[in-house]
Amino acid sequence: MSRRIELVTGDITTHEVDAVVNAANSSLLGGGGVDGAIHRRGGPAIGAECRALRASRYGRGLPTGEAVATTAGRLPARWVIHTVGPVWSEREDRTPLLRACYTNSLRVAAELGAVSVAFPLISAGVYRWPKRDAVVQALDAIRTAPAGVDEVRLVLFDDASRAIADEVYAEVFG
Ligand code: AR6
């Protein structure tokens, strides 16, 4: 497979890629974390499309693990792909849902014709997924997803997450 996976540190809303993935919630109506940053910087066109999706296809919300695209508004990207990560649970293994966020987002990206996609570390903030395992699942799900998108960035927001990701990357690809 020719897919390139690159680790980057910083704010995902500044990335010039075809599609930026948003760690949304099922309401699609915005929130904090990366979701808040994407809606703020991308402007109201993103929220307007999200509300239209709620009214048409997702009256009960976007299910966890699924992904749907909207405009990227004023972001330097063509699309935002909204996906809903699982909330971390001690009692239940929700790993398949976390991995589905990556594979479904890549499928939607490929359907759109996106060549480059940037992901945040889904579920690793407000949803409390342990950072290291969040990176393991992200890299492995991206690596093994069907072909279609050639260039994938995993954007780590801070240096501590980046250091964990560098270690995991070396283990997964080294
Ligand atoms: N660029 C890149 N990464 C970021 C940015 C940014 N601008 N901002 C935060 N992160 P979170 P979740 C990192 O909480 O855990 C929202 O309220 C952050 O450090 O954004 O999936 C939604 O509406 C962390 O590593 O998403 C949902 O209700 C990662 O992005 C809920 O939070 C994900 O943290 C989703 O929670």
Structure pTM?
A: 0.98
In which element (H, E) is residue 163 found? Answer: helix 159-173
Please check the confidence at residue 2 and state whether its pLDDT lies above 80: no
Q: How many residues appear in the chain?
A: 174
Nearest CA to 102 among 77, 81, 88, 116? 81
The CATH H-level (homologous superfamily) assignment of domain 4-173 is Leucine Aminopeptidase, subunit E, domain 1 (3.40.220.10)
Token pair 């790993």: residue? 95
Q: Which residue among 34, 84, 126, 135 has the greatest number of ligand 1 atoms within 8 angstroms of its CB, and so is best to mutate? A: 34
Query: Which candidate, 21, 28, 73, 23, places its Cα nearest to that of 52?
Result: 28
Alpha carbons 96 and 101: distance in angstroms, whole number: 9
As a whole number of angstroms, the distance between CA 110 and CA 52 comes to 23
What are the E-state strand segments in 85-132? Answer: 116-119
pLDDT tens track for 109-131: 999 999 999 999 999 999 999 99
Give the residue with greater pLDDT, 146 vs 34: 34
pLDDT (0 to 100) of residue 13 = 98
Give, rounded to a whole angstrom, the gap between the first and last alpha carbons of the chain. Answer: 16
- Please say if the pLDDT value at position 48 is more than 80: yes
For the CA of 23, the nearest atom of ligand 1? 21
Using CB distances shorter than 6 Å, the residues near ligand 1 are 11-13, 23-25, 31-35, 37, 85, 120-127, 155, 157, 161
Are 83 and 67 a contacting pair, CB within 8 Å?
A: yes
